Chains A and B, each alone.
Chain A
Amino acid sequence: MPAATFLDTSELVLNMGPQHPSTHGVLRVVLKLDGEKVTGCECVIGYLHRGVEKIAENRTYVQFAPYVDRMDYVAAVSNGLGYCLAVEKLQGVEAPPRAQAVRVILTELNRISSHLLWLGTHALDIGAITPVFYCFREREEALKIFEKYCGARLTTHAFRIGGLQYETYDTLEKDCLAFCEMFPKKVDEYEELLTGNRIWIGRTRGVGILNAEDCKEFGVTGPLLRAAGVEWDLRKQQPYSGYEKYQFEIPTGANGDTFDRYVVRIQEMRQSTRIIRQAVESLPTGPIMAKVPKVLKPPVGECYVSIEAPKGELGYFIVSDNSTQPYRVRVRPPSFVNLQALDRMCRGSLVADVVAIIGTIDIVLGEVDR
């Protein structure tokens, strides 16, 4: 090999983020490029780190509950549910049936609103600028129900350890059924814009493939895993909060590419609508709070509880030393774990695909960094 000549080429290192229109927050991705081709990428995270897990050690169990809403702020209800279930397991209480049903309704509404935000921004990343407004229009309806129920729209803090703080408002059933009536038609609208669109298919089919083996290797869960053909949904496999009572299917894909993940999430929204309808129609009466002591001091021990959050398996590992404050709280956030697969999915693709892949992983940086 001769010494360096002027024909020598070198790789272009492109720094995407933390301020970039489509890294969904303050994610920084360092890309190694050969022309437009990505030869490797590295995620730099931590720009939104708030030390949530450490904060937990200095708060009582009840005081910490609002903090979990600030992790995946797009799906705050799911975060709250996971935390409440974990503490309830430690304490050995169970929410009464009515509280469980309301929890399911709100969590599924939240899944829909989270997926709508994903769909809108994902389409925006790929260049379709219109769907995002349609998605936000319907998301607004879901948020209105949250607002009527607990006064907050985003960081809802809707549940309490042992049940619910609030009894449902008078027209919750009516509002939810109206939403279930309206929403599937709107999903048809999104599909009309995107599913059959040749450009959309071209941009998503075969992009960012992550097969079942890779998913298991990385611990990737949620729609990414299901799109790879693995029928794994904690709502079915380890039912919690009374999910075993409802009829619904687990949509799966075959190829594990971006298009499959899109289809899986669209189908999930339809299934969530089904669950909400069933839960509303069979909403039991009764108390909304279990008997929980005023001062929570769970017995010494530890527990891990995981739920199927919109983005994947959301787990809470809590260690109790029989004091009012948890000894240690560890969160298994789906976004953080799923984000690890970015490099595997990006290699060999083009710059434009990186944006599509970040979108398809569906990360929320609040949850990645905590």
Chain B
Amino acid sequence: MNAVLDFPYLKPVLITLVIILVFPLVVGYIVLAERKVLADYQVRLGPMRVGPYGFLQPLADAVKLLIKEDIIPTASDRWIFWLAPVLSTVTGLTAFAVLPLSEWIYIADVNIGLLFILALSSVGILGLILGGWASNSHYSLLGALRSAAQMVSYEVAMGFALVSGLMVAGTLSMQGMVAAQQRLQIWFAFSNYGLMMIPFAVYAISAVAETNRAPFDLPEAESELVAGFHTEYSGFRWSLYMLAEYANMFVVSSIAVTLFLGGWLRPFPSVAWLAWLNFVVPAALFFLIGAGCAVGVKRYSDHRVFGGIMIVLTGAMFAAGASFLLPPVNARIIGLFWFLLKVAVILYCYIWYRGTFPRFRYDQLMRIGWRYMIPIAMGALIVNGFVMLWGQGGERVQ
């Protein structure tokens, strides 16, 4: 038994398994949250049929996608058509390997963590290009061309923005970045007298473009290109693309959180007397959600199954809230809580953009990328470099 527990790869393997098994479900619920939030903007209710308040909708969607007919267009390039969504998904999920979900929940802490993620996202573009090309359809082809141009352009801006962050952190290791923020007692988005806000803003915008989300969702602009590069995809292959898209969203949000927003650290990590935040915030949050679920219990009181689900949910929420009040438990999971909370806030912003903005046009997108984002990111890099050189903020790379 001890031999098993001492196996150095035990934890990474376990976490990998959990992520691969749980993340598709998480994506389902992110999609549900997106639909619900959008519905809220748009004066409607969103999914309400499957399960109480539509809570089981993701399961129904998953079943529907899995049992759909698997269609490969006759004129397509079969093998590449098969390979492309797999490529996207694999790169999207592999990036999770270096994400520091908390102080101790991570798969690997390599000293090129960020570089690894950037490399994977570059490979991930191939999935879109190949998928668009192999479909042998004009809409797919245009979508693929757009995505290639867009992602390559915005990767440059994103890279420069990240380099500013790296300078301040002095490391490429994802855990190292969080550790640096703990040591310097500041979230890097606010360091260098607030100058780091510029690269953070550039990164936040480029990340939206990098993940092909509105208002930069040209590759799949549904009103122009029907569905862009995945026009010909359906069923499970299509859901792989969706999985990859949401995985990428999660990953780029995680990078923003890790490098700029303190990773798994609580707000004001250095102010000791604010330690109560660690207990009050999660407990309050879960109790609030629990109270919301309790309302649902009443609503579904005449429905045995749905009412039961709501009772279980309410109980689970209150139990989760209570568990955060126990110091030993709290110490183990509070990092994960802060990390996921921050990621959730960024993901909410993604949905917010989608509900609010019209879509850019191709030439406008390119102009913003090359004429504004890249020069601004480069300028911010230089300015931040000088500020650090004069000895304030950040730590000098030795």
Q: Is the CB of B224 within 8 A of A351?
A: yes
Bitwise interface map of B from 206 to 243 toward A, beta carbon under 8 Å scored 1, else 0: 00000000110110011111100000000000000000
In the complex, chain A residues 105-157 whose Cβ is within 8 Å of any chain B Cβ: 123-130, 133-134, 137
A36-B146, A199-B360 given; 12 more Cβ-contact pairs under 8 Å: A14-B139, A20-B226, A21-B226, A127-B360, A129-B42, A137-B43, A199-B364, A203-B358, A203-B364, A350-B362, A351-B142, A352-B361
B350 to chain A, nearest CB (A): 14
Closest residue of chain B to A199, judged by CB? B358
Give Cα A129 to B43, complex, Å.
Answer: 12
Total interface residues in chain B, CB < 8 Å = 30
In the complex, chain A residues 304-351 whose Cβ is within 8 Å of any chain B Cβ: 350-351
Give Cα A128 to B222, complex, Å.
Answer: 12
Q: Flag whether A51 is at the interface (Cβ < 8 A).
A: no
Q: Is the CB of A127 within 8 A of B364?
A: no
Q: Flag whether A22 is at the interface (Cβ < 8 A).
A: yes
Q: Is the CB of A14 within 8 A of B217?
A: no
B166 to chain A, nearest CB (A): 31
Give Cα A36 to B146, complex, Å.
Answer: 9
A201 to chain B, nearest CB (A): 10
Q: Is the CB of A21 within 8 A of B222?
A: yes
In the complex, the number of residue pairs spanning A and B with C-beta atoms less than 8 Å apart equals 86
A35 to chain B, nearest CB (A): 8
Q: Flag whether A355 is at the interface (Cβ < 8 A).
A: yes
Using a CB–CB cutoff of 8 Å, the interface residues on chain B facing chain A are 38, 41-44, 138-139, 142, 146, 214-215, 217-218, 221-226, 354-364
User: What residues of chain A lie closer than 8 Å to B354, measured between beta carbons?
Assistant: 129
Q: Is the CB of B214 within 8 A of A127?
A: yes
Query: What are 9 pairs between A and B in contact, CB < 8 Å?
Result: A127-B359, A128-B359, A129-B38, A129-B42, A203-B360, A351-B142, A351-B224, A352-B221, A352-B359
Q: Flag whether A286 is at the interface (Cβ < 8 A).
A: no
- Decide: A12 near B138, CB < 8 A? Known: A21-B226, A127-B214, A127-B215: yes
Q: Flag whether A200 is at the interface (Cβ < 8 A).
A: yes
Give Cα A15 to B361, complex, Å.
Answer: 20
User: What residues of chain B lie closer than 8 Å to A282, measured between beta carbons?
Assistant: none
Closest residue of chain A to B367, judged by CB? A202
User: What residues of chain A lie closer than 8 Å to B218, measured between beta carbons?
Assistant: 352
Q: Flag whether A88 is at the interface (Cβ < 8 A).
A: no
User: What residues of chain B lie closer than 8 Å to A15, measured between beta carbons?
Assistant: 138
User: What residues of chain B lie closer than 8 Å to A20, measured between beta carbons?
Assistant: 226
Closest residue of chain B to A124, judged by CB? B223
Closest residue of chain B to A14, judged by CB? B138
User: What residues of chain A lie closer than 8 Å to B222, measured between beta carbons?
Assistant: 21
Q: Flag whether A197 is at the interface (Cβ < 8 A).
A: yes
B164 to chain A, nearest CB (A): 26
Q: Is the CB of A130 within 8 A of B223?
A: no
Q: Flag whether A369 is at the interface (Cβ < 8 A).
A: no
A228 to chain B, nearest CB (A): 23
Closest residue of chain B to A137, judged by CB? B43
Give Cα A199 to B214, complex, Å.
Answer: 12
Q: Flag whether A362 is at the interface (Cβ < 8 A).
A: no
Q: Flag whether A353 is at the interface (Cβ < 8 A).
A: yes
A33 to chain B, nearest CB (A): 8
Closest residue of chain B to A197, judged by CB? B358
In order of increasing CB-CB distance, the 9 nearest A-B pairs are A127-B359, A133-B42, A128-B358, A22-B223, A127-B358, A126-B358, A125-B223, A352-B361, A199-B358
Closest residue of chain A to B146, judged by CB? A36
Q: Is the CB of B223 within 8 A of A21?
A: yes
Give Cα A128 to B357, complex, Å.
Answer: 5
Interface centre among B44, B146, B224, B354 (most CB of A within 10 A): B224
Bitwise interface map of A from 47 to 79 toward B, beta carbon under 8 Å scored 1, else 0: 000000000000000000000000000000000
Q: Is the CB of B43 within 8 A of A22?
A: no
Q: Is the CB of A126 within 8 A of B223?
A: yes
Give Cα A12 to B225, complex, Å.
Answer: 14
Bitwise interface map of A from 158 to 194 toward B, beta carbon under 8 Å scored 1, else 0: 0000000000000000000000000000000000011
Give Cα A253 to B217, complex, Å.
Answer: 31
Q: Is the CB of B363 within 8 A of A130?
A: no
A215 to chain B, nearest CB (A): 25
B274 to chain A, nearest CB (A): 38
B38 to chain A, nearest CB (A): 7
Give Cα A130 to B43, complex, Å.
Answer: 9
Give Cα A124 to B355, complex, Å.
Answer: 11
Q: Is the CB of A200 within 8 A of B223?
A: no
Give Cα A136 to B44, complex, Å.
Answer: 11
- Decide: A22 near B224, CB < 8 A? Known: A14-B138, A133-B42: yes
Give Cα A325 to B191, complex, Å.
Answer: 83
Give Cα A286 to B224, complex, Å.
Answer: 53
User: What residues of chain A lie closer than 8 Å to B146, measured between beta carbons?
Assistant: 36
Q: Is the CB of B42 within 8 A of A130?
A: yes
Give Cα A53 to B177, complex, Å.
Answer: 74
Q: Is the CB of B361 within 8 A of A203?
A: yes
A347 to chain B, nearest CB (A): 16
Give Cα A128 to B353, complex, Å.
Answer: 10
Closest residue of chain B to A207, judged by CB? B361
- Decide: A36 near B362, CB < 8 A? Known: A133-B44, A199-B215, A352-B221: yes
User: What residues of chain B lie closer than 8 Å to A124, measured between beta carbons?
Assistant: 223
Give Cα A193 to B357, complex, Å.
Answer: 8
A87 to chain B, nearest CB (A): 40
Closest residue of chain A to B357, judged by CB? A199
- Decide: A127 near B44, CB < 8 A? Known: A199-B360, A350-B362, A353-B361: no
Give Cα A352 to B361, complex, Å.
Answer: 6
Bitwise interface map of A from 1 to 40 toward B, beta carbon under 8 Å scored 1, else 0: 0000000000010110000111000000000000010000
Q: Which of A129, A199, A350 makes the CB contact (< 8 A) with B355?
A: A129
Q: Is the CB of B362 within 8 A of A352?
A: yes
Q: Is the CB of B357 within 8 A of A197?
A: yes
Q: Is the CB of B358 within 8 A of A200?
A: yes
